């Protein structure tokens, strides 16, 4: 079964750091680009970051540029999001999503992990 | 930055046709994607590359994209189709989502 499972969310104080992980299974992880998408409580989807299959190209939303770092370990079938200098507005459910190569559709999504930034 | 605009809500009676629009500058020159999200669940891809359906998505879901507007159409809408729907496009190498449309089936 094709699956993505996020972990690492939790409650953190403003200015703090958190590292999210996304474990992939059921497909050849190293062949696909991956994305992080977040959703604040009661709000819509917001794209966060994208990394190519080989990590050669990386892009960030302006709102997280300079604070968040996306990375992957193809040997471990894992995607990561290092989040530093966290703000209250970063509070959201964070989803990892697979980018199907030929169509660029975000075709597989994880169940999400909740990040709460509050003092 | 590129923006996609959706109506906040759309209502439809069971068995009727629901249409959700997504507007963006020259959106027809890009591919449009649509995702369905039910409460407490992760988004699910229902339309990709304007009008293609992933396996497992019912035939009542269809899409189109031309000019500045993409549309998601649900024919013979069922109660199970009540959900939030998001359009999405790629702007260069970044993902852009519309604000989402809450589809109510009543």
List chain B residues with CB under 8 Å of A40: none
CA-based nearest residue to B91, from A101, A108, A55, A47: A47
pLDDT along chain A (119 residues), means of 10: 97 98 98 98 97 97 97 98 98 97 93 97
Angle at A43 between CA A40 and CA A49, to 5 degrees: 55
Dist. CA A53–CA A98, nearest whole Å: 10
DSSP annotation of A85 reads S
List chain B residues with CB under 8 Å of A47: 94-97
pLDDT along chain B (106 residues), means of 10: 97 98 97 98 98 97 98 98 98 94 97
Tell me which residue has tokens 């809450």: B102
Mutation target to probe the B interface, by most B beta carbons within 10 A, among A22, A102, A109, A113 is: A109
């Amino acid at each position: 079964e094709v699956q993505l499972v996020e972990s690492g969310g939790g409650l953190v104080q403003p200015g703090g750091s958190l590292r999210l992980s996304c474990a992939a299974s059921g497909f050849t992880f190293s062949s696909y680009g991956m994305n992080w998408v977040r959703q604040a409580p009661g709000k819509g989807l917001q794209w966060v970051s994208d990394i190519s299959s080989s990590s050669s190209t990386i892009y960030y939303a302006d709102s997280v540029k300079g604070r968040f770092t996306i990375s992957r370990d193809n040997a471990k079938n894992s995607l990561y999001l290092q989040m530093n200098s966290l703000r209250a507005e970063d509070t959201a459910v964070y989803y990892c999503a697979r980018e199907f190569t030929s169509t660029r559709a975000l075709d597989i999504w994880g169940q999400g992990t909740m990040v709460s930034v509050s003092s | 930055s590129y923006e996609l605009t959706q109506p906040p809500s759309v209502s439809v009676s069971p068995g009727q046709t629901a249409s959700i629009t997504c507007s963006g500058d020259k959106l027809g020159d890009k591919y449009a994607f649509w995702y369905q999200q039910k409460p407490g669940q992760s988004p699910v891809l229902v339309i990709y590359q304007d009008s293609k359906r992933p396996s497992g998505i019912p035939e009542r879901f269809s899409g189109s994209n031309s000019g500045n507007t993409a549309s998601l159409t649900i024919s013979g809408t069922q109660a199970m189709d009540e959900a939030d729907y998001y359009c999405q496009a790629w702007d260069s190498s970044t993902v852009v989502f519309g604000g989402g449309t809450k589809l109510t089936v009543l």
